[in-house]
Structure 1
Amino acid sequence: MTSSSSNHAFLLLLFVAAASGALTGPPPLNGYGGDANQVSVSGLSSGGFMAVQLHVGFSKTFMGVGVVAGGPYYCAQANLMFALTECMVSPVGINIDWLIQVTKNTALTLTIDATSNMAKDKVYLYTGTNDGTVVPGVMDHLNTYYNAFVDSSGIKMISSMPSGHAFITDNYGNECTVASKAPYISNCDYNQAYEILDHIYGPGLIKPDSSMIAGGEFLEFDQTEYQPAFGTASLDDVGYVYVPTGCMSSTGCRVHVSLHGCKQGRKFLDNEYAMHTGYNEVAELNNIIVIYPQATTSLSNGNGCWDWWGYTGLDYACKLADQMKAVKAMVDRVLS
């Protein structure tokens, strides 16, 4: 066979493969008719900081938030050095009154929603006593921050467990007191996913036992449609979503967004964070659709973190930011 014939044959094979779907990625995220009044978000570490940004920025959309080892809105002030010091290990340098005022001022520009939307929201906060990555004092400042905007009866702060820098489960991960080690999930005989969702949507959600396996659909979806036309937002091409059995053919399910931390996205752990943090089992029993957006690495983001210090641009913490817009668009799709 000539070289030209070989090229033609190869191109034909590519065409056939593409036509059969063999070269395509996962399908788009589906619409499930979710309840627009019951949307919440949570995250660990960079995902915790991002969860705060989403909750504050889109407070008309998110009625509850869970933050594990995160910190106050705009803590880093678009400065990596601030992020690595004041916002992680030296919280004495955090001027919380200034951050509260910055939030109020930013709301006046309409680049974040009105802070009044947060008044009756549910806020779950967690810090482990053995966390040396984002020390407990940072979360203390976040507690103070939220008390400026949210009725104190809606805020739950857990700060006495001897865990390290990790999401906490009752059946999976490292030993509870491990300070910081992949996959940054620790077994402390505490179902944190349940506690977050029960505080936001309860009390009274059905709690799974530690041996339950979720029986709904765990799906990959195409994230490329949420990426900016130019540049990079450090978004992976693939995201995950868990759809409970009770939400496959009926509308009105609650919607929760769960954000991984640094070195926990698909590039580092595949789907381990989404499959083993416990959200799917709680979601299955309580008809909650869970979206797991995936960040990835880029030149300015080697650990695949969510942007809470400005590596994607100075508008990283408001509704104009690419990552913020992307997650909001995913929520809107599930609600449709």
Structure 2
Amino acid sequence: MIPTLNEAGNLPRLVPAIATVLTGRRFEIIIVDDKSSDGTPQTALELANRYPLRLIERMQPDGLSGAVLKGLAAARGDIAVVMDADFQHPPEALPHLIESLEKDEADFVVGSRHVTGASTDVTWGTFRKLNSAVARLLARPLCGDVKDTMSGFFGLKRHVWNSSAQLAPLGYKIGLEFLCKCPGLRVREIPIHFGLREEGQSKLSLKQQFRYLEHLSRLYDFKFPRFSPIAKFVAAFALTWSMALPLFLGLTALGWPPHISFSIALLFSHGVHALLHWRYLNTEGVPETVTHPWVGFIGMIFAELLVGNLTLWWLLAELRAPTPIKIFTIATIVTAVCRYMLRKELRHDLRSLKAALSR
């Protein structure tokens, strides 16, 4: 199964290469095209006259992962292999991936760049290497001992995709979705030679990398439903604290009263946190609503201001040396705890506001 976007230059060589290495096997090549503008569908149709190839054109593309799921839904065999059309995934590795599935040695096989015997033609700079290492590290808690969690070259049995009712991929790492949401999978990694892109341009953009982070966020919620929301809340708090602290210090240095400075910094922090939460909710599913979302939201802000200012007043009165950083940090931690408890108690989050605005 090959998802394509402007791969007309690669298909005339890729399809015959696949047919050659799979000689003696019954197979079909499914190409799922996402509105290519370079003649990819026409090229695929011409090749279909000579090879067992089916073309699926999607008029409303929703990313590479959606294309893969579309292709799997149309597949007629009991084994499917997903690969790119750019020759970075070597066709000659296909028999090795398929054999492990045919011999029932695994349910899911990864064409891996990070196991013994693997190699690569791609020369990456320091930043690209660091980016790849961090991306794989972030995914490791979701996938156990799989070393190449970022691989887009993988094979799987029909029962894996047929039984995966909770799949909700975002971005381009559909393999990661299977590894996370299909517990008990027997996974095997097959070393591959990761080649150079021969035609076209890479589809990996900054936007896709942000979508990968959103995808990870969704998978962590699935894998660790209790721990993940707390960890995200703490991370968001740490970020907003680091942004609000300079504002508080600047205002106090200008002679503003501590309580006014704290209130302004806290409101700024709350705004940034709300934007982060709003963005996070774009990756969520069904909205959750409450009866009076705006009343609850504004009420929580006033409650946090009250609790934070009372804490600040107490610190200024009780501490012998109330440094600005110390009092701001303690007061904001208290307000963060208040915010978290109120949200849990009132079952209030920005999904309610989004639903109210949409009406």
Q: TM-score range by the shorter chain?
A: under 0.3
TM-score, normalised by the number of residues in structure 2 = 0.26
**Which structure: greater helix fraction?**
2
TM-score, normalised by the number of residues in structure 1 = 0.28
**Which structure: greater strand fraction?**
1
